[in-house]
Amino acid sequence: MDSLDAVIEIFTWLGFGGALLMGIVAVILWVSDGTWLPAEALVDHDESGTHVRWFDADGDANSVLA
């Protein structure tokens, strides 16, 4: 039974390592796919917090709470 536990643990750690590696590769590919566009943003401080606001390539106004 101890050898079975060891084999299961080895496969578990290999699975976690493979998933982590695939996740890192997916993030790198997502960031480097070229769909990021340059934009100028305005940082706005008000009572609800700090907002970053910008216009995208389609002319839509966007904002995010920073």
Determine the Cα–Cα distance for residues 51 and 66; give it in Å rounded to an integer: 5
Residue whose token pair is 């982590």: 20
Q: Note whether 65 and 55 are same-domain residues.
A: yes
In the prediction, which pLDDT does 56 show? Answer: 85
**pLDDT (tens digit per residue) in 1-60:** 789 999 999 999 999 999 999 999 999 998 888 777 788 899 999 888 999 999 988 888
Q: Find the largest Cα–Cα distance for the chain.
A: 64
Q: Note whether 42 and 61 are same-domain residues.
A: yes
pTM score over 0.85: no
Q: Note whether 47 and 29 are same-domain residues.
A: no
Q: Which long-range contacts does 7-13 make (Cβ < 8 Å, 24+ apart)?
A: none
What's the structural domain count of the chain?
Answer: 2
In the prediction, which pLDDT does 26 show? Answer: 96
